[in-house]
């Protein structure tokens, strides 16, 4: 079955960087766009970024949130997508999910990886 597994989360100090990974299995990875969505503790879902199936197109949430600090990428030879996060802020603390795009929605989602930005 299709499975996505995130990794790379942890505790990081403000201003530092972190790279999340999303490893996919059970699908032809190169056929699908991938999205990152985050959820701050006790809050709703926030779309972060997306990358097209071949990596040629990348999309980000707006400037005030992540644009300019986060970079999405993928390596289809490794069936893996990445989210490079720099200059992290306390408000970036969240569970980060990756998901496959299918039929215009996100399915399935990974189990999520927790990023905590704290000194």
Partner 1 sequence: DIQMTQSPSSLSASVGDRVTVTCRASQSISSYLNWYQQKPGKAPNLLIYAASSLQSGVPSRFSGSGSGTDFTLTISSLQPEDFATYYCQQSYRTPWTFGQGTKVEIK
Considering only 53, 59, 69, 116, the residue that binds partner 1 (CB under 8 A) is 59
Q: Is 111 in the site for partner 1 (CB under 8 A)?
A: yes
- Taking CB under 8 A as the binding criterion, the range among 21-29, 74-82, 83-91, 107-115 that sits at the site for partner 1 is 107-115
Question: How far is residue 73's CA from residue 93's CA, in Å, rounded to a whole number?
Answer: 21
Exposed, middle or buried by CB within 10 Å (0-12, 13-18, 19+), for 36? buried
Q: Which of residues 11-40 bind partner 1 (CB under 8 A)?
A: 35, 37
Counting contacts by CB under 8 A, is residue 71 touching partner 1?
no
Q: Does 41 bind partner 1 (CB under 8 A)?
A: no
Question: Minimum distance from CB of 70 to partner 1 (Å)?
Answer: 12
Q: What distance in Å separates the CA atoms of residue 32 and residue 104, rounded to the nearest whole number?
A: 11
Tell me the C-alpha distance between 31 and 79, whole Å.
11
């Amino acid at each position: 079955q299709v499975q996505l597994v995130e990794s790379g989360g942890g505790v990081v100090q403000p201003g530092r960087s972190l790279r999340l990974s999303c490893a996919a299995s059970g699908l032809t990875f190169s056929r699908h766009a991938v999205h990152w969505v985050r959820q701050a503790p006790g809050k709703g879902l926030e779309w972060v970024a997306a990358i097209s199936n071949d990596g040629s197109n990348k999309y980000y949430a707006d400037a005030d949130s992540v644009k300019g600090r986060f970079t999405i990428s993928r390596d289809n030879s490794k069936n893996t997508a990445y989210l490079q996060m720099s200059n992290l802020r306390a408000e970036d603390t969240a569970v980060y999910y990756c998901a496959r795009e299918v039929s215009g929605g996100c399915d399935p989602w990974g189990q999520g990886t927790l990023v905590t930005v704290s000194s």
